[in-house]
Amino acid sequence: MKFRFWGVRGSIPSPGPRTVRHGGNTTCIEVRADDATLIVLDAGTGLYALAQDLMARRAREGGDIDANIFITHSHWDHIHGLPFFTPLFVKGSRVCLHGAHDPVTGNGIEHVMGVQLQNSYFPVSEERMDATIAYRTLGIKETHTIGDTRIDNVVMNHPVTNLGYRIACGGKSLFFTGDHEAFHNPHPEGGPEHRMLQQEIDRRQQEIDAAMQGVDALIVDCSYTIEEYPAKLGWGHGTFDGALEMALRVGAKALYCTHHEPTRSDDELETVFAQALARFDGRLGRLQVVLAREGLEVAL
């Protein structure tokens, strides 16, 4: 199994000379199973670059494109590449969109595509797309199998339902958080409200840790520094330090820091990353820690 980053920024695309080394596209990760099954994690603007690569491969090698796109959640930076996914317009292509049920609207994952393809926002309707398009709304903690690959999910901590995905194939595994913020209990310690909420926090944290346990690659939302985080409390994003603690706690073999703050230049990004690593000096052991960049491909 291998994976490749096509988009590593969060919130909004940030192309330009300040982000050329790590990239300015929003979240998209290509995963290739041992049997060549294509799984795509999130559909930010990086999905467009992936689409161009898939079309080039098709031109060289022939065959049809069969893509399984797993959406962590429906915020724009994780879906706004979907209407520009070129295989949707190619006869013979098969595209299946997977994701969570929205408890607020009652809609399934098909709503993500339907909203974007309204005539007010996009000129081409789904009926005019030539690919075979399918939708699978996933149950929470439901196991899904595609070929020889197993995909499990768990609900992360974000203002909307966000599924973290564990993908396992051939004895190797990776986990992608999507957007995730460490749990916070705002109630005074010792009181009944604090105790009740903490029980729920502990339960959810145990579920998340179990889903991540021992993965070969842990891919985590590292939007903020610990200095920035207090002003962002409740926004649903994590810190470099929180990701490092998480990776050590669950025994991950490698940590990939992604969902980079869009206002941060490559130089600034590398600086805050180095500062976080320095705070963990002597604690990391064999844990490999990598700052994700567009084009980075990893074979597990």
pLDDT tens digit at each of 300 positions of the chain: 999 999 999 999 999 999 999 999 999 999 999 999 999 999 999 999 999 999 999 999 999 999 999 999 999 999 999 999 999 999 999 999 999 988 877 888 998 888 889 988 899 899 889 999 999 999 999 999 999 999 999 999 999 999 999 999 999 999 999 999 999 999 999 999 999 999 999 999 999 999 999 999 999 999 999 999 999 999 999 999 999 999 999 999 999 999 999 999 999 999 999 999 999 999 999 999 999 999 999 999
Six token digits for residue 8: 């590593």
Q: How far apart are CA 75 and CA 160, in angstroms?
A: 8
C-alpha to C-alpha distances, 115 to 82, 83, 125, 226, nearest whole angstrom: 11, 11, 11, 36
Q: Which domain holds residue 12?
A: 2-299
What 3-state DSSP class applies to 165?
Answer: strand
Nearest C-alpha neighbor of 174 from the set 109, 61, 250, 269: 250
First to last CA, the chain: 6
C-alpha to C-alpha distances, 259 to 26, 34, 168, 208, 225, nearest whole angstrom: 7, 27, 22, 19, 13
Residue 103 is predicted with a pLDDT of 80
Matching residue, tokens 């290739």: 32
Supply the CATH number for residue 294's domain.
3.60.15.10
Total number of domains in the chain: 1
Say what the pTM is.
Answer: 0.97
Neighbours of 65 (CB within 10 A): 20
Neighbours of 139 (CB within 10 A): 10
Q: How far apart are CA 84 and CA 257, in angstroms?
A: 26
Neighbours of 115 (CB within 10 A): 14
Residue 102 is predicted with a pLDDT of 82
